[in-house]
Structure 1
């Protein structure tokens, strides 16, 4: 999946007394180029062996569908297809792509699952070398970028150009979280927390208390990270998109991994990170990316207009502090 530059969210485990006969179970592993952590409440003697296998199998299936880092994945086959070639796609792939295309339409292309050629050109994709590309190459890549260059018809997909390249990394981790939450629920595990690379979704409670998730202080150094805000999360997903770790510096200029499809260049604004709460982690993941691309003011206005639960951290315009913060009213309604 996409290059992972560090957690933006931290799971905070409060000290809770064990209830009689039950305890907190923990599963962890690697997926999508990062790690996953699952916590759930179950009887003390609950065997996790089969569940761990099922979790790994489900995440492997998501990765094999949507990872651009795997040459034999479904998305790699789609990206290698010729123009106007009808390609049959899986239910998972169609579900995630449909959501991404809807968001692209709603944001007028600011969020775009076909941004891949530009992301790769700047070195933020698979095996990329981060560098400032030539203007001519940027202009050439822009020609094949655009969500309208993708068409879906039932389970069939077509691209207008063979070089149009789909990248679902802004949605796939969140979808993976949702898939595992659904798996746990199907096993009767109604009190759980699922986290993949910092994207989180919870159900029920952490034993007798709500789950607590910490939003990190934006810092380019992982060693300097701290907790800026603690959120009690019950029955929601939380995802964060940020620019402060996934970047490169050339000369005196810093280049973010978030690309503006209009210019073909990394965005330049004061927004450091944005966290979004939604009932779906896939939705929170994608919307956080969209707001990050918009920047502080446009992103905040879009979030207010669309009743999005969003929390913004940005450079302090007065210069008196390292950063400032603000949240939409919808965010404040659900955050205690």
Structure 2
């Protein structure tokens, strides 16, 4: 028997509502929701005079989807992936995100790589797919194409030295786009708001009103209704979670999720249910949430502790929670589900 699960869309709305509650705001917020990047996005601004700027953020979402999507025909990434190794001229924004993706791929020591496209395309977690497990042969062929060093950038020209390779920006695109939206809003004078791109949350300045921090929920893994496991309070920061419960399917009682181990080509199996990263910019959070998840609990904790201005929360499949040294100190943390245990080392 095959089952498909894509949790998180209703939770994205719940998360936004949670962060809006009890804010003591001086003006009524304005909010808009749409569907981009295969997920629900919601942007809320705490000043009704910025309706034009709010609308422009959704124009930005459409623009970036038309540049970065690997599935949508005619985008910059689609052209690179279908050029058979020939150089393709792309936008400045595409060059910008590719350089960021290459940097994160290099620093991850093989855990994260934006040339994962051939492998990720084998695993279909959409509602309409047949949920087939790829063959061993297909996985091995795809693994052979993963190497960020195959990307060649010369000005605005991009090529892949391996014509069979494919770029997939799914691990960083939402973070990059959220940061660009925030930069635009800041330039326009917006002082308080919340950008939520399918659960990638970025605060725009402190919250309006007496309470300056936003209360952001961390979802309880595999909760069908998006129940919150815990909350953190942040201001002008980003909170991004990668979890096995977000997109997965089941075949004969075995769960296959979307976070792929690039050493095997199969979903990562390391007893983690989720990793939440908190930092100032959303691109960092987006890339690290996947990378640190793939590192596993012990190595991931040590790695984040070595970074400046980054914190992490790990939720394991046995119901325990561990986090880095700033959680509960510089970043207020509240556990809501008493069935989970906080482990301090």
Matches within 5 A, 1:194-213: 194-202=195-203, 203-209=205-211, 210-213=213-216
The offset of 1:151, in angstroms, is 2.2
Q: Are 2:46 and 1:41 aligned?
A: yes
What is the DSSP-based 3-state SS (H/G/I as helix, E as strand, rest coil) of the residue aligned with 1:27?
A: strand
The offset of 1:188, in angstroms, is 0.9
Matches within 5 A, 1:112-123: 112-123=113-124
The offset of 1:17, in angstroms, is 3.8
Q: Are 2:321 and 1:329 aligned?
A: no
* 1:29 aligned to which of 34, 52, 55: 34
Which residue does the alignment assign to 2:217?
214
The offset of 1:244, in angstroms, is 1.7
Query: Any conservation in 2 of the 1:118–1:264 contact (CA below 8 Å)?
Result: yes
1:202-236 CA distance string (max 9 Å, x none): 112133212111111111x423x311211111011
The offset of 1:5, in angstroms, is 4.0
In 1, distance between residues paired with 2:120 and 2:58?
Answer: 28
In 2, distance between residues paired with 1:233 and 1:227?
Answer: 16
Query: Any conservation in 1 of the 2:29–2:46 contact (CA below 8 Å)?
Result: yes
Larger displacement relative to structure 2 (196-205 or 176-185): 176-185
In 2, distance between residues paired with 1:5 and 1:279?
Answer: 26
What is the DSSP-based 3-state SS (H/G/I as helix, E as strand, rest coil) of the residue aligned with 2:178?
A: helix
Which residue does the alignment assign to 1:241?
242
Which residue does the alignment assign to 1:61?
63
Query: Any conservation in 2 of the 1:237–1:279 contact (CA below 8 Å)?
Result: yes
* 2:311 aligned to which of 301, 309, 312: 309
The offset of 1:252, in angstroms, is 3.5
The offset of 1:332, in angstroms, is 4.2
Matches within 5 A, 1:220-259: 221-223=223-225, 225-259=226-260
Query: Any conservation in 1 of the 2:25–2:208 contact (CA below 8 Å)?
Result: no
In 2, distance between residues paired with 1:291 and 1:126?
Answer: 27
Q: Are 2:261 and 1:260 aligned?
A: yes
Which residue does the alignment assign to 2:8?
6
Tell me the number of residue pairs that the alignment of Structure 1 and Structure 2 aligns.
320
The offset of 1:181, in angstroms, is 1.3
In 2, distance between residues paired with 1:310 and 1:53?
Answer: 32
Residues 331 and 152 of structure 1, relative CA distance in 2, 3 Å threshold: farther
In 2, distance between residues paired with 1:165 and 1:57?
Answer: 27
Query: Any conservation in 2 of the 1:4–1:33 contact (CA below 8 Å)?
Result: no
The offset of 1:263, in angstroms, is 1.4
Query: Any conservation in 1 of the 2:84–2:163 contact (CA below 8 Å)?
Result: yes
Residues 192 and 269 of structure 1, relative CA distance in 2, 3 Å threshold: same
How high is the TM-score relative to the length of structure 2? 0.86
In 1, distance between residues paired with 2:328 and 2:99?
Answer: 29
Which residue does the alignment assign to 1:80?
82
Residues 53 and 38 of structure 1, relative CA distance in 2, 3 Å threshold: closer
Which residue does the alignment assign to 2:155?
154
Larger displacement relative to structure 2 (196-205 or 300-309): 300-309
In 1, distance between residues paired with 2:163 and 2:197?
Answer: 32
Query: Any conservation in 1 of the 2:313–2:324 contact (CA below 8 Å)?
Result: yes
What is the DSSP-based 3-state SS (H/G/I as helix, E as strand, rest coil) of the residue aligned with 1:334?
A: coil
Flag structure 2 segments of 5+ consecutive residues without an equivalent. Answer: 333-345
Larger displacement relative to structure 2 (276-285 or 246-255): 246-255
Larger displacement relative to structure 2 (180-189 or 127-136): 127-136
Flag structure 1 segments of 5+ consecutive residues without an equivalent. Answer: 317-322
Which residue does the alignment assign to 2:338?
none
1:26-48 CA distance string (max 9 Å, x none): 22222222222222222x5x261
Query: Any conservation in 1 of the 2:24–2:208 contact (CA below 8 Å)?
Result: no
What is the DSSP-based 3-state SS (H/G/I as helix, E as strand, rest coil) of the residue aligned with 1:98?
A: helix
1:286-325 CA distance string (max 9 Å, x none): 1101112222222222222334311111122xxxxxx110
